[in-house]
A and B are shown apart, each in its own frame.
Chain A
Amino acid sequence: MTRTIDRRQLLRGATLAGGGLALSAYMPAWAQTTSGGIVKPMPTVSGDDITLRVAHQMMMIDGRESHAIGINGTAPAPLIRLREGQNARLTLTNALPDEQTSIHWHGLILPFQMDGVPGISFPGVEPGKSFTYEFPVKQAGTYWYHSHSGLQEQMGHYGPLVIDPAGEAPIASDREHVIMLSDHSQLHPHVIFRKLKMQGGYFNYQKQTLAGLLRGEGQSAKERADWGKMRMDPTDVADVTGSTYTYLVNGHGPLDNWTGLFRPGERVRLRVINASAMTTFNVRIPGLKMTVVACDGLNVRPVTFDEFQIGVAETYDVIVTPTDDRAYTLVGESVDRSGMARATLAPREGMAAAVPPLRKRPLASMKDMGMGGMDMSGGSMAGMDHAAMGHAMPATGAATGAMAGMNQGGAPQAGAAVDHAAMGHTMPAEGAAASGMAGMDHGAMQGGAGGQMAGMDHGAGGMNHSMRDFSNAPGVKKTPTVQTISPMPMDRMGEPGQGLENVGHKVLVYRDLMAVDRNPDVRAPDRAMQIHLTGNMERYMWAFDGEKLSEVKDPIPFLEGERVRVTLVNDTMMGHPIHLHGHFFELVTGHGEFAPRKHTVMVQPGGTATFDLTADAVGDWAFHCHMLYHMHAGMMQVVTVRPRGGDAA
């Protein structure tokens, strides 16, 4: 197949887009309510010399006007379309009257001084000043860009960035659309952050109630008491919710119904970007299967599924092939099911399909509290939640797999002997089980370590004593930021994400992803390390290893060319999309030299995610949770990459 662009079709699309212009004057052309699909060239935002002017403006969402920060008069910011191999030259002018700004090119491999993080890669751009980013474009794919100053990103200072490949397009499609998901509130982001600081559950209007208990909803009274004893709220799935957010597709609310056109039978490539401040989306198109072809910009081998979870700052390119002459609804449901982003794919403008109702909000489980191996009542392996595991295992395998999860708390000593990711699968023999047990290192588990899984069948209350045991996380500082420490975090990269365990159709998981090209560096890691994701919902404090960026003494150091296996351990009950600037890393998901390479990885609640990083980009780089208010609360660090042999600064 070759890429076919039908010019008349494109022109028609452009005309349709024009019809919506009067209503959406603030919207860039690619995000007009009815879009014929993005095409190249995009004259206003591509080329060798691009000018981007950041300023206050208004934006219109579902008929309501609100204040925004946009670029070149559009909010969200315009699509930037580059070509692999070109030299990008992008001049940012700060027209904000009284605050700094910046642009970070999310996922781009570039010199660190062009990465756009004030205080790490450059000083920032003062009001009235300009800054020119210049770098060679070394990659292709779907990316995005956003402010790294204050909380501007929440106000519209973000946009898609698409880089066309230098040669022939390796992924054939007849048409493509950018699907940029985001969240918008009428509240100023500083107000949102302050409210969270005052009351962590401020925006959660899906808490468990007495009325719910009487109706038989949610947890039983006993479970509620057990969780209450631990001061953990199982409904705490998202911090900022649909109670204040309107969820957007390409800057449009659900009522606006942004529409992407197709002709029946076409292969349509959707470049899905989660440009939210805080929202993890579960994306599906009822009636259409999706096939992923790229993740975080890089090509992956096709996998077909019905739904996928996209963490903040991730991108997924999926192919859909709608054959019927009808409209389809694209649903981006917030992970806490408090609202949805909605768009339509249709053969013609003005069509709409049924919008499915919001599904029931998920409740956090024991596994989400980091009791990975505990999720098997009755002590019987057969009772293990195979669906949630993302992969079933034979009876003995289940025991060992669970043990593997437990092992991760003590990874340093276990790491040399066993590959965590592999252990997430199966170990064939009882001997392996024994080694897994040997690596177990939890005070709380001593009683159960005799090899009987039944020993772990505690109720929640029974585990109370171990929910903040620092011996499970030796590197974590004992600070008020640490509300809990996962006693037995398990690798959850084979799981579909919170609330998607039993949705009745195929959900993409990280383990499904596999790179098309052999990984550029297939050496064994020189060393392994853990970083704990810690937080305190009551004080709304977030940090790595218990220390906020405002408190840390030292950055996280790497040597140039060093290859390190990094395990992120989520000690909180919330998923965190963790982003490392300036690098791609390989997920350790059992795919050897064809590991999927990503710039942002979701670490599921109470679980772990492991990647191998080749620190090949000298400089200082930001490393943070991409939930904006988590980062703002302190869940950020600086990663340094220094030449070997030390060239002193």
Chain B
Amino acid sequence: MKALSLLVAAAPIALATPVTAQDHSMHNMPGMTMPAKPAAKPQAKPTAKPRPPARTKAKPAPKKPSPAPAAAADPHAGHTMPGMTMPDAPTQADPHAGHVMPDSAAVATPANPHAGHDMSGMAGGMSHDMGTGGTALPPGNAPAPAAPKPNYADRVYSPQEMADARAILRGEHGGSTFWQVNFNLAEVQIRDGRDSFRWDGEAWFGGDINRLTVKTEGEGEFGRSVDDAEVQALYSRAIGPYFNLQAGIRYDFKPNPSRTYATLGFEGLAPYWFDVEGALFLSDKGDVLGRLEGYYDQRITQRLVLQPRAELNFAAQDVPENGIGSGLSDIELGLRLRYEIKREFAPYIGVSYDRRLGDSARFARADGEGVGGPSFVVGVRTWF
């Protein structure tokens, strides 16, 4: 503690020394390779004044000679020059305060960007301030002890109270559960004469790894019954930093007849920031369907976001009673521009193009239904 006041007292004396010997406000001299240049020391100090006795008291020189291995491990053990800092100098404007002296003159090379600063005067003053012990020493390789139970407080406080507190501690630090409801699509689709509605959302409850996820999507025309409506109830498990594996049940209320499927899928964030999901569905009739869905949020400004989106539905076979044809049965492409009034609440406008393909289109025509087309959409993307 006293060292500093002594330093303070020493400041005026030290101030009298030439600038070259003083400008050490940055203590470390990383670039120096002193041990290799003992010859530099003797003539290094001529400009520096003799140190006030207080200094030596403040920083005792290391008592033991530096062991060779330590020196090898840390070639810079002698390089710091604390004693030369002039904290209290009233005229303290240190012209080199911003310069870490990278390099002793001894090892100056053309690459040295600070070559203009003559550091040679410092070499001698630096050699013994830091000592060669402590953090300069390399570590040994003792084994780590076995981990005990972290219950030392049980000897001071009620073990039962501590057990309860530990349970709370662990639960609160990484074990919390959350829930979210999220509708990526909730919109009106305006097209030739027949306006319809469309939704696509999901909700989840759980922790970081295990979650119960409920998904729903569907569409319908205003004034008619809902055309398509499905709900999935899934167990979702994080299988990596970005992706969840999801398995459960899908139930289609519409179209008639309703169907139940076993579901296995994934959902996550793909490279280039694509939000993707995909699933296979096995119906109670043995039919196999598949789905791929993805979107990308292109931020135009901090709040204006353009979202291209695609959804593809596949089938392994024709399911005529539900109007599903084998192969790529339908596609849905969208481009939506939203404004995030809040992250959670973003009205949007856009265009959507949906189309039944192959046998699906044939089934639709046979039923007197359209096979799809473009529409203008207005909606709100929301989560809470």
The digit string for B144-180, where 1 denotes a CB below 8 A from any CB of A, is 1111111111111110011011111111111110101
**A541, B207: Cα distance in complex, Å:** 10
Taking CB atoms, residues of chain A closer than 8 Å to B301 are: 209, 211
Flag if B174 contacts A289 (CB, 8 Å). no
Instruction: With CB as the reference atom, state the residue of chain A lying closest to B37.
Output: A428
Instruction: With CB as the reference atom, state the residue of chain A lying closest to B94.
Output: A304
Instruction: With CB as the reference atom, state the residue of chain A lying closest to B79.
Output: A590
The distance from the CB of A516 to the nearest CB of chain B, in whole angstroms, is 5
**A527, B383: Cα distance in complex, Å:** 50
- Is A296 interfacial (CB 8 A cutoff)? no
**A550, B167: Cα distance in complex, Å:** 9
Taking CB atoms, residues of chain A closer than 8 Å to B354 are: none
Given A592-B135, A593-B130; A426-B111 close (CB under 8 Å): no
Taking CB atoms, residues of chain B closer than 8 Å to A382 are: 111
Chain B contact-residue range equals 35 or more
**A627, B322: Cα distance in complex, Å:** 54
- Is B45 interfacial (CB 8 A cutoff)? no
**A541, B26: Cα distance in complex, Å:** 38
- Is A216 interfacial (CB 8 A cutoff)? no
Flag if A549 contacts B170 (CB, 8 Å). yes
Contact pick for A593, options B30, B36, B62, B98, CB 8 Å: B62
Taking CB atoms, residues of chain B closer than 8 Å to A206 are: 302
Q: Which of B2-10, B194-202, B214-222, B251-259 is near enough to bind chain A? A: B2-10
Flag if B31 contacts A393 (CB, 8 Å). yes
The distance from the CB of B383 to the nearest CB of chain A, in whole angstroms, is 7
Taking CB atoms, residues of chain B closer than 8 Å to A595 are: 134-135
**A68, B2: Cα distance in complex, Å:** 42
- Is B225 interfacial (CB 8 A cutoff)? no
**A554, B1: Cα distance in complex, Å:** 39
Flag if A392 contacts B77 (CB, 8 Å). no
| Most chain B CB within a 10 A radius of its CB, from A557, A590, A619 | A590
- Is A39 interfacial (CB 8 A cutoff)? no
The distance from the CB of B253 to the nearest CB of chain A, in whole angstroms, is 28
Taking CB atoms, residues of chain B closer than 8 Å to A352 are: none
The distance from the CB of B159 to the nearest CB of chain A, in whole angstroms, is 10
Contact pick for A631, options B109, B173, B242, B299, CB 8 Å: B173
Q: How many A-B residue pairs have CB under 8 A?
A: 396
- Is A538 interfacial (CB 8 A cutoff)? yes
**A558, B156: Cα distance in complex, Å:** 20
The digit string for A500-525, where 1 denotes a CB below 8 A from any CB of B, is 00000110000110101111011111
Taking CB atoms, residues of chain A closer than 8 Å to B176 are: 193, 197, 632
Taking CB atoms, residues of chain B closer than 8 Å to A155 are: none
Flag if A550 contacts B135 (CB, 8 Å). no
**A171, B2: Cα distance in complex, Å:** 9
Docked complex: A599-645 residues within 8 A CB-CB of B: 612, 618-620, 631-634, 636, 638, 640, 642
Taking CB atoms, residues of chain A closer than 8 Å to B169 are: 117-120, 549
- Is A85 interfacial (CB 8 A cutoff)? no
Contact pick for B144, options A207, A289, A527, CB 8 Å: A527
| Most chain A CB within a 10 A radius of its CB, from B102, B112, B155 | B102
Q: Which of A86-94, A417-425, A440-448 is near enough to bind chain B? A: A417-425
Flag if A395 contacts B4 (CB, 8 Å). no
Given A210-B298, A620-B152; A594-B165 close (CB under 8 Å): no
**A225, B90: Cα distance in complex, Å:** 53
Q: Which of A75-83, A162-170, A354-362, A450-458 is near enough to bind chain B? A: A162-170
The distance from the CB of A484 to the nearest CB of chain B, in whole angstroms, is 8
- Is A526 interfacial (CB 8 A cutoff)? yes
- Is B143 interfacial (CB 8 A cutoff)? yes
Given A231-B273, A512-B28; A291-B162 close (CB under 8 Å): no
Flag if A592 contacts B241 (CB, 8 Å). no
Flag if B80 contacts A592 (CB, 8 Å). yes
The distance from the CB of B139 to the nearest CB of chain A, in whole angstroms, is 4
Q: Which of B81-89, B183-191, B286-294, B367-375 is near enough to bind chain A? A: B81-89
Flag if B240 contacts A118 (CB, 8 Å). no
Docked complex: A1-30 residues within 8 A CB-CB of B: 1
Flag if A209 contacts B302 (CB, 8 Å). yes
Flag if B148 contacts A557 (CB, 8 Å). yes
- Is A221 interfacial (CB 8 A cutoff)? no
- Is B25 interfacial (CB 8 A cutoff)? yes
Q: List 13 A-B contacts (CB under 8 A).
A: A123-B153, A150-B172, A172-B8, A209-B301, A231-B271, A422-B73, A481-B208, A527-B140, A548-B208, A556-B147, A559-B145, A620-B150, A640-B152
The 10 closest A-B pairs by CB, nearest first: A634-B174, A119-B169, A548-B174, A302-B87, A392-B102, A550-B175, A524-B137, A506-B98, A425-B30, A593-B131
Knowing that A124-B168, A592-B135 touch, tell me 18 more A-B residue pairs with CB under 8 angstroms: A205-B302, A206-B302, A391-B31, A394-B103, A396-B109, A416-B141, A422-B136, A480-B208, A516-B1, A519-B134, A522-B137, A526-B142, A549-B169, A564-B139, A593-B136, A612-B135, A620-B150, A636-B174
